[in-house]
Amino acid sequence: MTKKMELLAACHGKHLDKVPYGPRIDLWYNYHNAHGTLPERYQGWSMIDILRDLGVGGQKRHYSVVKEEIHGIEVEETHDPPYTRTTYTTPYGTVTSTLLFNPFEGAWIGYESEKLFKSDKDYDAIRCVIEHITPVPDPAYEHACEEVGEDGLVMSGIRGWSAPQRVMREIMGYEMFFYELMDHPKQVEELIEVMKELDRKKLQLVLDTDIELVNVCGNWSDDIHTPVFRKYFIPWFKEVNAVLHAHDKLSMAHIDGENRRLLPLLRETDIDVWEAWTPYPMTKDTTAQLREAVGPQGVIWGGIPSILFDDPTTDEEFDDFIVNTLFKEAAPGYNFIIGMGDNLPFDGKLERVQRVAQLIEEHGTLPIDG
C-alpha cells in the first residue's frame, strides 16, 4: 500500500497494520529554503523529496482546487513586499485590503493586515465584489498532485476558510465581526449568504476533481464563539457535507486552535476528518477529550503539539509524550493519523519527524494498548 493509500484508507476508517503518519513540515521547509539554511544534505531538495528521504508519507498544502477570477469591476493591485494592496472599485464605493506575505517567515499563505471591511458603509461594495467572483479550476492543483504522487497527500479544498469564517476572519476580523453582529446583524447575515453562494459554485467544481479529502475550513478556535458556530457554521457544514458525501468525498477541518468550547458541537457538523489536532500543552484539551467529542467514527489527524519538536523539550520527553501520552490516548489507534498540531516549527528538529516514524514502527501496531 502506498503512503497516499494508507492515509486515505485511514480517512475512510479502514483498519491498517500500524497507525499511519502524515507529518507536515512546510513551515520548517519554507523558512529554511528561503534563508538558505536547509541541512547540507537537503540543499536544493523539494519538501516532498525530503519527506521521501525520511521515509514518511507527508502532506503538501495546496490552497484550493479552485481559483477566483474577478470580472466586471475594476481591481488594482500594488506590491510593496511583503505587502500586496488590492483595491476594488464598485458602483457602491471602493474597498481595499492588504495582504502580508513574507516567505522568509516560512508561512505558505499570507494574512490580511488590512481587512476589506472598515465600516457599515462597505457592505454593498463588498457584496458587489463577491458577486463578481467567478470560480475556475486551478491547474496548479494537478501539478501538486503529480509532484507528490503516491508518496503522500495533497491537502486542498474549497478554500482555506468556510463561507461564514471568511466573512468573520478574512473580510472583517473577529472583533469587527462581533461588533457588527451586535449592531447590523441583518447585513452580516446577508454577507454570509452571498459568500455561501460563491462557495456553492466552487463546490460544484470541486466535485469534478479527483480530490478525495476536501478541506472545508481551517484555523478553528473558540474565538468563533459557540452561538455563532451553532447558528452559522453547523448548518453550512451539514449542507457541504451532504453534497460531498453524496459524491463519495470526505471532508476535513483544520482544528489547530483552542477548541474547548467547540468540542461539544463538532459531531453536529458531519465533518469526517479532524486535522492538525493540537492538544495540551498548546491547548487546554487532550486527545482523549477530542476522541470523546468526535466519537469513534471521527478520524483524528494530529496529536503532537508543534512546540514539542524543539527545545526545551528533550529527546526523552519527546519519546515519552509520543509513546506514553499520544499512543495511549489514541488507543486502540483506529481512525487516527499521527501528525503535528499543526506544523514543524522553523526551529523544530527534523530528526524528531523521523523519530515519530521509528516509534510507530516499535509501538504503533494496531490495536495499540491503551
Partner 1 sequence: MSTQSDLAQSVIDGDWDAAAALAQAAADAVKDPQVIIFDVLQPAMEEVGRRFSEGEFFLPDMLAAGRAMTAALQVLQPLLGNSAVSKLGLVLIGTVEGDVHEIGKSMVSMFLKGSGFEVIDLGVDVHPETFVDAVKTHQPDILGLSALLTTTMPHLGKTIGALQDAGLRTQVKVVIGGAPVTQPYADMIGADGYAADAGAAASLCKRLVSCE
Residue whose C-alpha is closest to residue 217's, from 240, 198, 197: 240
Q: Which residues contact 82 (CB under 8 A, 6 or more apart)?
A: 100, 101, 102, 103, 110
- Whichever of 241 and 283 has its CB closer to partner 1, that residue is 283
Residue 363 lies near partner 1 (rule: CB under 8 A):
no
- Whether the bond between 82 and the residue before it is cis, its omega within 30 degrees of 0, is yes
CA distance 198 to 352: 41
Per DSSP bridges, beta strands 111-114 and 133-137 are unpaired
Give the list of residues 6+ apart from residue 224 with CB closer than 8 angstroms, or none.
Answer: 165, 168, 233, 262
Amino acid at 228: V
Question: How many residues would you count in the chain?
Answer: 370
- Site residues for partner 1, 59-78, by CB under 8 A, read none
Give the interface segment with partner 1, choosing from 66-74, 138-146, 155-163, 280-288 (CB under 8 A).
280-288
The H or E element spanning position 341 is strand 336-341
Q: Smallest gap, in angstroms, from Cβ of residue 53 to partner 1?
A: 24
For position 93 contacting partner 1 by CB under 8 A, the verdict is: no
Residues 10-29 that bind partner 1 (CB under 8 A): 27
Residues 112-151, one symbol each (x = binds partner 1 by CB under 8 A, - = not), give xx--------------------------------------
Of the candidate spans 34-42, 48-56, 89-97, 169-177, the one that interacts with partner 1 by CB under 8 A turns out to be: 169-177
Question: Does residue 107 touch partner 1 according to CB under 8 A?
Answer: yes
Nearer to partner 1, 19 or 293 (CB): 293
Size of the site for partner 1 (CB under 8 A): 40
Place of cell 540543499: 43
Rank residues 93 and 173 by Cβ distance to partner 1 and give the closer one.
173
Sheet strands (E) in 59-118: 59-61, 66-70, 74-80, 83-90, 93-100, 111-114
Q: Which residues bind partner 1 (CB under 8 A)?
A: 27, 31, 100, 102, 105-107, 111-113, 173-175, 178-179, 181-182, 221-223, 225-228, 257-258, 260-261, 281-283, 306-307, 311-312, 342-343, 345-347
